[in-house]
């Protein structure tokens, strides 16, 4: 049964904090298994990857069949519906046009003491993208991960996608083609993360790994961080909808289900200031479930993790939203744009009654790889910056070193680091 919280309840904040503290992440449950798989891949390379692929995906691979061929990609494209390919191309252009605007610029300055300071931005050399596979259809994940890497200037983009029983979804391969990816391997799970992080005879290691996956993939990404960069540890999907009673309750109900249908651990939360309207939304949600193909998943998610919060007035809401720090935030309100300026913690904000979260999943332009589990308090969605690194540059002249060197020597002496002090002082004598 879905939770219903009311801010007028004296115990509201205790119940609200309990809601936020309930973990829906499962990677800790499988971290030991993921660690063992990674250790094996690091030791045995290709053979470990082949063995785990045979075990988990029921697919026999060797060095000659590991990589998706150009012929397989071409055949996949031919199997795709022309209208769907057209939609992927529209999405690709919109995603590219948005992300390329956020490339950072190099910076140079000479300060008052005559020291030249600079920042140089460079793309990483290679990136690995994990895409869920088999019967799952996530071509949007291919675009959302690959296009920012390409916009950043990454030269080598590798995709790994599991192929259970040898099945690869044609749209996933078509999306890879549209995004310009040619190096694709038929592997998934923690073993694929290990191959990307450590390298094998057949797969050269990468610098950064991004993309969503199951609990084993999340645990493996967490384990290899430091050997490679990663985008984030993504938990189950979540949406928070703030709605007034002027919305059609059927619209808000289906928006809540748009995340609940992802998996049983997803979370959907509604905040409204009208208890009658809240009931209308939950009733409409039940009506939608009667016709939703993934109703069993969505219902489990809604019953176990969903929540309706009824506030006394909307002035209470920004503080609650900022504490929740949701992955997706819909503001279906009057003056939603002005209201959005009060929100500091959210992965992505969808403003107004005609901006459902689903439009951001596919075609709006901003990335749909977003921080979950309240991590929007300190992190951001995937962007070109995930595939870039910043190098600082310092250049002193003799004159500028004479100005800033002595105070640096004082600090080095206080820290008991004489070589530091003397490496400056030797140039000043």
Catalytic residues: 327-328
**Could you give phi then psi for residue 5, rounded to 5 degrees?**
-115, 145
Rounded Cα distance, 272 and 20, in Å: 18
Beta strand extents in 176-327 (DSSP E only)? 183-185, 208-210, 229-230, 238-243, 267-272, 307-310
**Degrees, nearest 5: CA angle 215-216-217:** 90
Cα–Cα distances in angstroms (integers) from residue 376 to residues 8, 343, 372, in the given order? 27, 11, 7
Nearest to 309 by CA among 262, 235, 243, 265: 243
State the DSSP string of 207-251. Answer: SEEE----HHHHHHHHHHBTTBEES----S-EEEEEE-TTS-HHH
| CA contacts within 13 A on the Cβ side of 115 | 13
C-beta neighbour count of 316 within 10 angstroms: 15
Rounded Cα distance, 385 and 113, in Å: 31
């Amino acid at each position: 049964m879905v939770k219903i919280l009311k801010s007028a309840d004296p115990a509201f904040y205790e119940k609200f904090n309990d809601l936020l503290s309930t973990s829906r992440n499962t990677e800790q449950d499988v971290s030991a298994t993921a660690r063992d798989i990674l250790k094996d891949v690091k030791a045995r390379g290709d053979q470990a990857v082949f063995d785990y692929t045979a075990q988990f995906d029921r697919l026999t691979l060797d060095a000659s069949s590991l990589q998706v061929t150009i012929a397989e990609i071409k055949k996949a494209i031919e199997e795709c519906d022309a209208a769907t390919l057209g939609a992927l191309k529209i999405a690709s252009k919109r995603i590219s046009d948005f992300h390329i605007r956020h490339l950072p610029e190099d910076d140079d300055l000479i300060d008052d003491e005559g020291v030249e300071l600079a920042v140089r931005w460079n793309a990483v050399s290679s990136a690995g993208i994990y895409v869920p596979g088999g019967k799952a259809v996530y071509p949007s994940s291919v675009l959302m991960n690959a296009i920012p890497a390409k916009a950043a200037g990454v030269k080598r983009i590798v995709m790994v996608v599991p192929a259970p029983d040898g099945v690869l979804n044609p749209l996933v391969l078509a999306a890879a083609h549209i995004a310009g990816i040619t190096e694709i391997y038929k592997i998934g799970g923690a073993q694929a993360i290990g191959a990307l992080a450590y390298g094998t005879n057949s797969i050269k290691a990468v610098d950064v790994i991004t993309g969503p996956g199951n609990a084993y993939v999340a645990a493996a990404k967490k384990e290899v961080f430091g050997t490679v960069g990663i985008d984030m540890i993504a938990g189950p999907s979540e949406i928070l909808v703030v709605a007034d009673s002027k919305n059609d309750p059927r619209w808000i109900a289906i928006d809540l289900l748009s995340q609940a249908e992802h998996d049983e651990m997803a979370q959907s939360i509604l905040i409204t200031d009208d208890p009658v309207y809240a009931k209308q939304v939950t009733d409409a949600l039940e009506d939608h479930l009667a016709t939703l193909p993934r109703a069993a998943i969505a219902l489990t998610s809604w019953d176990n993790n969903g929540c309706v919060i009824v506030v006394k007035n909307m002035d209470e809401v920004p503080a609650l939203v900022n504490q929740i720090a949701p992955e997706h935030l819909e503001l279906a309100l009057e003056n939603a744009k002005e209201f959005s300026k009060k929100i500091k913690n959210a992965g992505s904000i969808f403003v107004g009654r005609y901006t459902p979260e689903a439009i951001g999943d596919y075609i709006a332009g901003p990335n749909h790889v977003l921080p979950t589990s309240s991590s929007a308090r300190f992190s951001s969605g995937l962007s070109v910056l995930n595939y870039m690194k910043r190098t600082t540059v310092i250049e002193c002249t003799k004159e500028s070193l004479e100005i800033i060197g002595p105070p640096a020597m004082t600090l080095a002496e206080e820290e008991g680091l004489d070589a530091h002090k003397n490496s400056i002082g030797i140039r000043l004598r």
